[in-house]
Chains A and B, each alone.
Chain A
Amino acid sequence: MKGYISVILVILLNLIFPPDIEAVELIVHPDTPISQVDRNVARGIFSMRMREWADGTPITVYVLTDRNPIHQKFVQSILAMIPHQLRRSWDRYLYSGIGSPPIQVKNLEEMLLKISATPGAIGYTNEDMNGAEVRKIEVN
């Protein structure tokens, strides 16, 4: 009985005070020819305006779903944008036919898998990832 109560308490507490998301960071496919980006470039990439890297490789953008706390944190802290404004410009691309929104993945696992397998890919994570599969890049 006590066990149940504490489980319920933990769930309730989590609902009321959601656990803080660790710092979110930009990650790219390891062959991507950059080590850092300016914030306005990151905005350009995730707003789907910028479609290729300096060497001509197409940029493939992966994101989590809009309401995912990691996505929310990424948009607000790394891009310094409002999530519904990003969604607005993606919807305009999609439903007026003038471009494509990012590709949505279900979870971080899929994000890492896709980015490590796609040259030119970019996304984000809150896990400590920096190695052969994906590379972390700094945002200025």
Chain B
Amino acid sequence: MVLRCVKLKLTEWVLLTVIGILSPMLAGADTEQSIRWHGFLSQGLIATDDNNFLGDSESISSELTEVGIGASWNATSRIHFSAQALYLKAGDSAPDGVELDFGLVDINLINDATHGLGVRAGRLKNPYGFYNETRDVMATRASILLPESIYPDTLREIYHSSDSIGLHGYKEIGSTLFQFDVISGKPLIGDDTLDDMALFAPGTQSKNNELWVGRLMAEYDGGRLRGGISRVNLTGDLKPGPVNPLFPLFDGELELDMTLFSLEYNQLRWQLTAEYQIFDARIKDYYLPGFSSENTGESWYLQARYEFMPRWYLLARYDVYYGNKDDKDGKDRVASGNPPSYAAFAKDTTFSLRYELNEHWVLSTELHHVSGIGWLRSQDNADYANLEKNWNMLLFQVGYHF
């Protein structure tokens, strides 16, 4: 265990050192055809008054580290290669060590002023909503934590990337630019991923997984108004973990559907953002052969951001999560012997302050007041049934990117 910690720290330090030494030398590129390097790193601190989120946050957790380094190369103006290595610590959710975050070739078939079409293949970032593809880069997020109801940090691994092929394109009609992305392939589901999903018994695995992600975005007038719809379909074969004689489980099938609507209004100094997601999980034969169960969850947030002085931003957000939209107050949950009721939801009010020192460094602090424990996980909280309903969280994060 100690060795494992030391090893992790070492990987982290090696990456940090590489970025530190290389970034001034590599950041400058001369022409379109040079190999170009990029990278980012951030470190966060999390403190909660009650309940743990991403590590032992009741006594201040530092388990929020994001480090990435990557390179890209335009072989021609039509053919683009890129790759990025990622080290992520977000509580227990990410696999230990450094992983390939993306590694792809992108070929542009049509590339005109008003329309374009291309294909890409390799390990691709999943195009979901406004934030998913660049969620690990602090500079690209409006806040330290993304709205947990839609971009859960506890399930980061599965959201990240997939080994896929994809088609993408754009079409401009009047002042509106339509952009689409569709990918299909294998999601990255690790041995522990399903344990984090709270739907399954510990040790359950999902095999032969297939993933489809599609997104259509419309941007009016250079991005003043943006709207989109994203859709995810994931299927897999469920294999229960070690047999529990009191609660036997069986080989089954899993199908997840997620639909996300996104809307944003932008002005020079301020920004209004809203997203609404509906999440549907169908599980067949797993609890009992011939028996199907279905669960539909719902989440949404409203967010306003204002640059009140150059480089200084204030953000306010209200973010709501319901694990089951037919049991929003958790009464059914309690009736079926699965307390507490407030595990059925989480309503998070967030205020965030951010300062961009220059084009590389960002500092931020934010306060969350949360009612409910819907997106907290038992991995962080041994005594899950006795968590507090109302809890507060203070975060601090510093980030660098080039």
Contacts and interface: CB of A to CB of B under 8 A. Distances in A.
Contacts of A44: 113-114, 172
B208 interface: no
A1 interface: no
A2 interface: no
A91 B137 contact: yes
A97 B32 CA distance: 15
B383 interface: no
A65 interface: yes
B266 interface: yes
Given A60-B32, A97-B102, A51 B266 contact: no
Contacts of A94: 38, 72
B133 interface: yes
Interface in B64-91: 68, 70, 72, 74, 76-78, 80, 82-84
22 contacts: A49-B170, A56-B77, A58-B32, A58-B74, A58-B76, A58-B77, A59-B77, A67-B359, A81-B222, A81-B223, A82-B223, A82-B267, A89-B223, A91-B140, A94-B38, A95-B84, A95-B140, A97-B82, A97-B125, A99-B106, A100-B72, A103-B31
Interface of A: 38, 40-41, 43-44, 49-52, 56, 58-60, 65-67, 76, 79-86, 88-89, 91-92, 94-100, 103, 114, 118
Shortest beta-carbon contacts, A-B, top 9:
A85-B223, A97-B82, A58-B77, A81-B222, A96-B133, A96-B125, A97-B102, A51-B77, A95-B134
Given A49-B111, A56-B77, A81-B223, 16 more contacts: A44-B172, A50-B112, A52-B78, A58-B74, A58-B76, A76-B268, A84-B271, A89-B223, A92-B133, A95-B133, A95-B134, A95-B136, A95-B140, A97-B124, A97-B125, A100-B72
